[in-house]
Structure formats: C-alpha cells, structure tokens
C-alpha cells in the first residue's frame, strides 16, 4: 500500500469508543443517522434529528457503525420528554416497545412518509412516487387492541411481567403501566402478575428451557377483553381455577379466559394445547359494520382506529364497479374479502393458516355473505392454480413483512389483473415488489402511508398498481 492509499483509509471507531455527533436523519428501523467528519455513517440508537450528542460505539458493521446515545449536549428542537416511565431516560434503551417517544409525533409521521418515498425512489426506481399524505392519529396513545407480555424474574427473585428490553430477546422490562393499552388492560396485567407472584410461581427461562410461566396476552374488542396465560408444562392446573375465581369478578369485561400449554423451544406466545377457563374461546369484533370472530391466534390489525381508515383507503384504491372477480391474498379470517364483497361480483380469499380459514368461514356465515370463497393453501402455489382457471380483475394482497414470495409474485404477474391493491407493513419489500411489477408492465398509480404504530418505526402503506 502506497502513501496515498494509506491516507485514504477511513479510521473505524472501536466498540466502546465515545463519539461527538450531530444527528441529521432517521434510518429505516428507527435509529438516528449521523456522519463523522470523514463521512462514515453512524446509526445512533436514542438520537433524533437535530440532536448534538455523545454516543458510544456498540458494533462495527461493513460500511457503517452502530452506536447508542449516551448524553445529549444540545437537544433537537423536536425532542420531547417521554411520557412513559419505562422508556429509559431521554435516550431510551430500556423498554423495546416504542422507541420514538422522545420525538415529536408530527415529526415522526413526516419521517415515516419520507422513508416510504425514499424506498420507492431508491429501490423501485420511481423518481417521483405518487405519494398521498400520511394518515396519523389525533390521539396516538392506548391504541393497541392486543399486547403480548412475557414473564421473567429479577435478580432479587421478584416476578415481573412486561416487554422485551430494547435489543434483547431474553431480557424483560417489568411494566406497571404501558401507554399503548388502556388503563383497564394495565390493571389486568398487573393483577395476573400479582396472582402468580403470591403463589411463588416461576418464570420460564428460554435459555435453559425451565420454569413455568411464559406469557400473558391481552386482546380487546371495544370494552370486551380476552386474556390468555401461557405456561411451559401443565403445573398450572391446580392454580387455573383460582385464577378464574380471582380475575372474573374483578374484571367483568373478560369474555374469554384461556390457558395455553406449550413446550416449544421458541417464544411464540399463543401456541400449544388450549384450555378454556371462562367464557367463550373468542371475541366478536366489529369493523365497518362487519362482525368478526377473533380467536386468540387470529391475525387482526392491532390499531382499530387506523385499521378502519386503512380499509377505507383500500376500498377506494380497489375502484370496484360491481362485476369484478377479486382475489384477496393472505386473507386471514377474511375481513378484507368481506369488505370487498360488497362491491364485487365474487371474491376468492387464499390463506395458509387453517385456523384463520375456519374463523373466516364462520365470519361469512355470521355476516350472511355468499359471494366470497375461502381457499386454504400457500399463496405461492394456490393462487397460481386458481388464477389459471379464473382470471382476476383485481388482486388485493396483505403479505407479511418479507413481502411477496417470489413464486407468488411470478403468479401475480402471470395472472395480469387490471389492478393490484397492495397493503404493506414494510416499505422496503413493497418497493422491491413494485420494481418487479413495474418491469412487468404496471405503474404505481397511488400510494398512502398510514401510521398504525405511533412511537415506533413501523410503517403501513397502501399502494395501487394499474396495468399499462
């Protein structure tokens, strides 16, 4: 290496080293973005745009550095005091539930919209994406209708129930009040924790795979509540009647109390053998005047206020006139399929989860809907076979964060619907799939972000593609 090459090498800070930085942006995923004088990109967890701060390096990655904010020298004008006691000070880093509480909400949604725009420009190659204004919330608190809490034990032996620490899969922050759920749900969680603590029940240790208590899940529909306790093994059998007798009179809102027994080696909260302790094994939810049977494992959007708005946008983007054959991919228990059925000739929903299909078929009966057919099977295989027999006019899809499976994308392009309405919870995979659709002859006509998860980095977006 000659002298010129040596001088061009950029020194990379080591883990533990302190850096003085100014945060200028937000990365997809929520970290602040700063750069050293040499141009090295630093992702700063706990920093918000406009902060001048001291951070310490946590990891060195290829092409960038990860760091955590340690102290704020000059705060951003948009930095605010977090409302949650579990946030972990001005820089956060304690509870991993919502990491943007220290950033003004109006700025949060600006950055979310910008990140959708950036992905569509950078990944999909759309120079000027047709992005409509992001839909935020007037009251961005107590919006979640479902929370999965985890049991753990503090070093002093105290049983806790809460959420994962920021960046950790096995360390838990014990909660007293989570601002993402209602006060009544908080009281229920704390009552369940106290019940178990008074009986000296042990928490499950995932690394050792020992201990009893795994999770406590609270789901709500209006004022009605479903509560599920999950354990490793069935030692809880002698306590289950006591839990029912303890919680039911104190919380008459509980319409469903369930116990799940799981010996799984992973941390899925609702899994294993189900035992009904009180009430029904489901709730009845209402979305756009549709009644939906919601079981413990059912997927539903966790923000009902924003979900109603998202469905309105989706219905608008669908542009149905009454004679269309529509496919709803990843239909779940069929809320979107039922919504579309009001304006379409026929809707075919495809879903791989048999429990969701069973719930969906019951929902069709309850709502008296006869022009929806639900088909069980993996989308990438089932849609190809179905669409070969019955060509779609419109395809609606709401895939997981990884986006469309390559075979599902291929089948979608082969089926050549006139219009596609795509609901995405990951703008990067939306943009990746958009690039493939554009190459296949579609244009992105409209797109609109919806903030389903205030104070977090998660972004939902609805997009419409039209065949040119």
8, burial (CB in 10 Å: exposed 0-12, middle 13-18, buried 19+): exposed
Strands 394-397 and 419-424: parallel
Alpha carbons 406 and 181: distance in angstroms, whole number: 37
Residues 6+ apart with CB under 8 A from 295: 281, 282, 355, 359
Residues forming a β-bridge with 447:
131, 463
Alpha carbons 390 and 375: distance in angstroms, whole number: 13
* Strand ranges of the sheet holding 254-261, from the earlier edge strand across to the other edge: 172-174, 159-164, 146-153, 213-221, 224-231, 254-261, 273-279
Alpha carbons 72 and 47: distance in angstroms, whole number: 8
* Annotation says 228 is catalytic: no
Q: Which two tokens stand for residue 103?
A: 């950033």
- Name the strand (E) or helix (H) holding 430: helix 427-439
Identified catalytic residue from 119, 196, 425, 461: 425
Return the HEC string of 154-203: CCCCCEEEEEEECCCCCCEEECCCCCCCCHHHHHHHHHHHHHHHHCCCCE
- For the chain, give the number of residues: 468
Alpha carbons 95 and 136: distance in angstroms, whole number: 23
Alpha carbons 41 and 44: distance in angstroms, whole number: 10
13, burial (CB in 10 Å: exposed 0-12, middle 13-18, buried 19+): middle
Strands 346-351 and 372-376: parallel
Residues 6+ apart with CB under 8 A from 52: 20, 21, 22, 23, 72, 73, 74
DSSP state of 134: P
Tell me the catalytic residues.
425
């Amino acid at each position: 290496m000659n002298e010129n090459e040596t001088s061009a090498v950029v020194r990379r800070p080591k883990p533990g080293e302190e850096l003085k930085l100014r945060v200028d942006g937000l990365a997809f995923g929520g970290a602040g973005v700063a750069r050293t004088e040499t141009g090295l990109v630093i992702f700063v967890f706990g920093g918000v745009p406009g902060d001048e701060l001291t951070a310490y390096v946590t990891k060195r990655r290829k092409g960038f550095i990860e760091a955590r904010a340690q102290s704020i020298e000059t705060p951003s004008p948009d930095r605010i005091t977090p409302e949650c006691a579990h946030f972990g000070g001005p820089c956060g880093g304690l509870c991993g539930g919502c990491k943007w509480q220290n950033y003004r909400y109006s700025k949060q949604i600006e950055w979310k919209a910008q990140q959708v725009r950036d992905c569509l420009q950078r990944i999909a190659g759309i120079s000027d994406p047709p992005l409509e204004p992001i839909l935020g919330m007037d009251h961005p608190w107590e919006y979640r209708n479902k929370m999965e809490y985890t049991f753990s034990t503090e070093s002093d032996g105290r049983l806790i129930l809460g959420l994962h620490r920021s960046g950790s899969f096995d360390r838990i922050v014990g909660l007293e009040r989570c601002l993402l759920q209602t006060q009544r749900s908080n009281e229920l969680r704390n009552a369940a924790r106290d019940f178990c603590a008074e009986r000296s029940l042990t928490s499950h240790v995932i690394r050792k795979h020992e201990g009893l208590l795994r999770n406590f899940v609270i789901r709500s529909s209006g004022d009605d509540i479903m509560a599920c306790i999950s354990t490793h093994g069935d030692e809880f059998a002698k306590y289950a009647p006591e839990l029912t007798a303890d919680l039911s009179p104190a919380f008459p809102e509980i319409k469903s109390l369930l116990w799940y027994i799981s010996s799984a080696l992973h941390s899925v909260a609702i899994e294993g053998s189900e035992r009904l302790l009180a009430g029904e094994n489901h709730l009845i939810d209402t979305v756009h005047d549709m009644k939906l049977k919601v079981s413990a494992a059912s997927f539903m959007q966790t923000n009902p206020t924003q979900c109603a708005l998202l469905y309105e946008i989706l219905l608008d983007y669908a542009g149905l006139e009454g004679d269309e054959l529509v496919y709803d991919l990843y239909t779940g228990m069929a809320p979107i399929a039922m919504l579309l059925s009001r304006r379409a000739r026929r809707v075919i929903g495809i879903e791989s989860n048999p429990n969701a299909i069973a719930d969906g078929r019951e929902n069709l009966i309850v709502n008296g809907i006869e022009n929806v057919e639900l088909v069980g099977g993996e989308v990438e295989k089932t849609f190809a076979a179905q669409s070969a027999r019955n060509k779609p006019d419109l395809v609606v899809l709401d895939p997981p964060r990884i986006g469309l499976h390559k075979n599902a994308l291929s089948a979608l392009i082969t089926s050549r619907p006139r219009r596609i309405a795509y609901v995405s919870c990951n703008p990067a995979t939306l943009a990746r799939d958009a690039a493939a659709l554009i190459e296949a002859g579609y244009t992105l006509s409209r797109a609109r972000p919806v903030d389903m998860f205030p104070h977090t980095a998660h972004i939902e977006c609805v997009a419409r593609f039209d065949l040119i």
